[in-house]
């Protein structure tokens, strides 16, 4: 497949609604690259629960401040979700190495949006990310880390679940439909907009909301 271009322009990828790409020649790595969504979702929920439990039992969290830190961590996640999707997952393919990275991390999802085994990173990487987040937050936020980490990893789990639901289930006939319509704009209409998945908040603030089109 032609994923390497010699210009900075993104290679247009036609979404396929069947099948799956091979990402690695090594069969073990290839197997690892397919993940059941329940694993990373569970890992992040468990991380949030342990973090809350530890925070409360060690006197770092209580009452309203715990709620504030949780909501703050969740809010922080929505911003990181936007930034990572926009600037890491859609990094311009300016070199073969970058093109390979972009395709492995995210391009494969744009080419095979319905491959539900490629909607999250392998569990081993999820555990690594959760641990890394803990150390960063503990360093930056001190004892606030337990509440912030809980909110952040809850937001991450919600994002993973919402993204899975968008690609696997048909849209519901209620206000939650916005999740489906917003992300469909990103996949099928305008690649350079709608980077938020679990919320449209940062697309509104930063100005990457899809333009209204008549169809």
Residues that bind Zn ion (CB under 5 A): 30
Output the smallest distance, CB 174 to Zn ion, in A.
21
Structure tokens at 159: 């994002």
Which of residues 58 and 177 has its CB atom nearest to Zn ion in the complex?
177
Separation CA 132–CA 135 (nearest Å): 5
Separation CA 24–CA 32 (nearest Å): 10
Separation CA 37–CA 119 (nearest Å): 7
Which of residues 77 and 146 has its CB atom nearest to Zn ion in the complex?
77
Output the smallest distance, CB 114 to Zn ion, in A.
10
Separation CA 127–CA 133 (nearest Å): 10
Task: Work out the end-to-end distance of the chain between its first and last CA atoms, rounded to an integer number of angstroms.
Answer: 31
Output the smallest distance, CB 39 to Zn ion, in A.
17
Which of residues 105 and 127 has its CB atom nearest to Zn ion in the complex?
105
**Closest residue (Cβ) to Zn ion?**
30
Which of residues 30 and 116 has its CB atom nearest to Zn ion in the complex?
30
User: Nearest-CA neighbor of 137 among 110, 156, 118, 109?
Assistant: 156
In the Cβ-directed half-sphere of 74, how many Cα atoms lie within 13 Å?
17
Which of residues 10 and 68 has its CB atom nearest to Zn ion in the complex?
10
Output the smallest distance, CB 139 to Zn ion, in A.
30
Task: Pinpoint the alpha helices (H) of 84-116.
Answer: 96-102, 108-111
Output the smallest distance, CB 87 to Zn ion, in A.
11
């Amino acid at each position: 497949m032609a994923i390497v271009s010699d210009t900075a322009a993104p290679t247009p990828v036609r979404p396929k609604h069947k099948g799956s790409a091979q990402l690695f020649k090594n069969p073990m790595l290839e197997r690892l690259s397919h993940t059941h969504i329940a694993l990373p979702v569970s890992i992040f929920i468990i991380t949030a629960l342990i973090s809350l439990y530890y925070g409360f039992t060690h006197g770092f969290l209580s009452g309203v401040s715990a709620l504030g830190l949780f909501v703050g961590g969740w809010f922080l996640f929505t911003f990181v979700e936007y930034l990572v999707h926009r600037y890491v997952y859609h990094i311009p393919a300016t070199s073969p190495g970058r093109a390979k990275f972009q395709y492995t991390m995210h391009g494969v999802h744009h080419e095979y949006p319905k491959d539900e085994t490629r909607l999250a990173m392998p569990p081993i990487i999820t555990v690594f990310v959760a641990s890394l987040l803990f150390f960063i937050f503990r360093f930056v936020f001190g004892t606030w880390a337990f509440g912030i980490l809980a909110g952040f990893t809850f937001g991450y789990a919600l994002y993973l679940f919402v993204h899975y639901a968008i690609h696997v289930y048909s849209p519901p006939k209620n206000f939650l439909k916005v999740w489906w319509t917003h992300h469909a704009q990103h996949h099928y209409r305008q690649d350079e907009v709608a980077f938020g998945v679990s919320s449209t908040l940062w697309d509104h603030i930063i100005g990457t909301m899809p333009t209204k089109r008549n169809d």
